Structure formats: C-alpha cells, structure tokens
Amino acid sequence: MPGTEPCKQGHFVAILEGREVLSSAEALHTHIVCSTGMCGQLLFNDLAIGKKEYIVGYGIDGYAGMETICATLILPAAAKKGVILPANLSNVFVSPDHIGTDLILAQLSIPFYYQERYSFKWIALFPGEFNDQMCHGKNVLAVSKSYIPQHCGNILLKNIPERLSRFETYTLVHGIGLDAFHVPDYSKQVSYCTFIVWRSNVYIGTTGVSSFYSKNYVNECVFAHL
C-alpha cells in the first residue's frame, strides 16, 4: 500500500506446505520485506516443485505472526511452468446501492487463513483520492471497527459526522488491528477503494454500535433510491 513502511512495520512473506496457513511454526521459510518500494521479488529455494503443494502468504505485521496475512497464493503440485497463478487478495468494495446520507455498507473479503489476534477489522472513510497520508490517519471522516471471525461479509459505517456530498470523491480503507488505545492502527492497511457519490440515498435507520453481517443485507436500515 502507498505510504507504508514495510521494514518498520514488519511486512513478511512466508511459504508453507499444503493449502492452508496455520501458524508461524508451520512456515518452511519466512522473509521480512525490507524494501522501500511497493513491489519486488523474493526467492524461496529447497522446494519440491511439481511434487508438493505450497501456499505463499503476505503479511503486514511479522511480529504477530500468521494472524496478519492479507494475501495468499496457492502453488499446486500440477501447476504448469510459465502459467500465472491467481492470488487471493484482501478487498473492500462499496456498491452505489449501499451509500446513504451518513452511512456506508461496505463489502469486505480477506483470504481464508488462521486468525486469532487480529480478528478486529476496521474501515475508515477519508475525503478525496487515496494518498500516503491516510496511513497516518490524516483527515479521517469516520471509522467503524468490528470483530469479524469470518473471512467475508459486510461491515457498516454509520453516523458519518459530515454527510456524504453528491458528486464528491471519497476513499474507504480497510485495515486490521488496534493500537494500545483500542483505536484503528492506520499503519496496518491492507486494501482500499475510491468512489464517487453519484446519487443520493434516503434511509430510515436506528442508532447503535457498528455491526458485522455475514449476509448481504442490513437489519438496521432500509435504503430508498431517489
């Protein structure tokens, strides 16, 4: 993610045998990412390519172990040389139908992996296009944090103090983990989406704490399109 500091924040890439990420002790090799760039290459050797299956995981906080993996890549034993393998990435998405006057229902997905310490996920809303200052929590408009044991579903951001303006651009950032004060650690960002509010939605809702829903509906508000 732009603006992050991989070495300082303990970004790492690990490879494990099989199709599941279990724990740090199961990793065959682990590399700490010390590059300051946003892309690069790492070499894993002493593998039985073509005979065993492997899974590669990218994590953003090596000090916490495998609980912070936000992208995975499976290397099947039958994989053909030269064929590009698809990665399973963390993602956050906002449908135009789920943008209200002061609320957003975001769709969230993360790779299926063993998670425990960082079950707390959060989304934060910022004005404008994505920029590297967002990893410091600059100009955040609203935040919603939830305990999410599942690896996909919806997360609701309610009661945005400054109502969303039509035709304005916003960025929604998804991250994991809280700091010592139990607020989002903005340096642990894993995905984002930028969107424009093209139309107005009127909603009827109730107040309450932010919640996580495992299905694509909300039981606290009703959207009506104008």
Q: What is the CA radius of gyration of the chain?
A: 19
99 and 193 part of one domain: yes
Give the mean pLDDT of 40-55: 88
Q: Residue 42 — very low, low, confident or very high, per pLDDT cuts 50/70/90?
A: confident
Considering the entire predicted model, what is its pTM?
0.75
73 and 103 part of one domain: no
For residues 74, 78, 81 and 85, what is the CA-based torsion angle, rounded to 10 degrees? -30
117 and 190 part of one domain: yes
Say which DSSP state 163 is in. Answer: P
**pLDDT digit string (tens) for 58-76?**
888 766 666 678 888 999 9
101 and 175 part of one domain: yes
Last residue in a domain, options 88, 118, 139: 88
104 and 57 part of one domain: no
Give all strands (DSSP E) within 60-208, no chain letters: 69-75, 87-89, 91-99, 104-109, 120-127, 142-147, 152-157, 169-176, 189-196, 201-205
49 and 76 part of one domain: yes
Instruction: Report how far residue 200's alpha carbon sits from residue 175's, in angstroms, rounded to the nearest whole number.
Output: 27
111 and 191 part of one domain: yes
**pLDDT digit string (tens) for 172-210?**
998 887 777 878 888 888 889 999 988 655 444 333 222
Output the pLDDT for position 112. 62
74 and 95 part of one domain: no
Tokens representing 210 are 């932010």
129 and 160 part of one domain: yes
Total count of domains within the chain: 2
Output the pLDDT for position 208. 29
pLDDT at 84 over 90: no
Give the mean pLDDT of 102-122: 72
95 and 134 part of one domain: yes
In a domain, 209, yes or no: no
Last residue in a domain, options 56, 88, 120: 88
Q: Residue 216 — very low, low, confident or very high, per pLDDT cuts 50/70/90?
A: very low
pLDDT at 113 over 80: no
Do 152 and 106 contact (CB within 8 A), yes or no?
Answer: no
Output the pLDDT for position 223. 44
Q: Residue 81 — very low, low, confident or very high, per pLDDT cuts 50/70/90?
A: confident
| More confident position, 37 or 201 | 37
163 and 115 part of one domain: yes
In a domain, 225, yes or no: no
**pLDDT digit string (tens) for 116-175?**
445 578 899 999 999 888 988 889 999 998 765 556 778 889 889 888 988 899 999 988
In a domain, 171, yes or no: yes
- Per the structure, the complete domain to which residue 12 belongs is given by 6-88
> Which residues touch 161 (CB under 8 Å, ≥6 apart)?
102, 141, 142
129 and 55 part of one domain: no
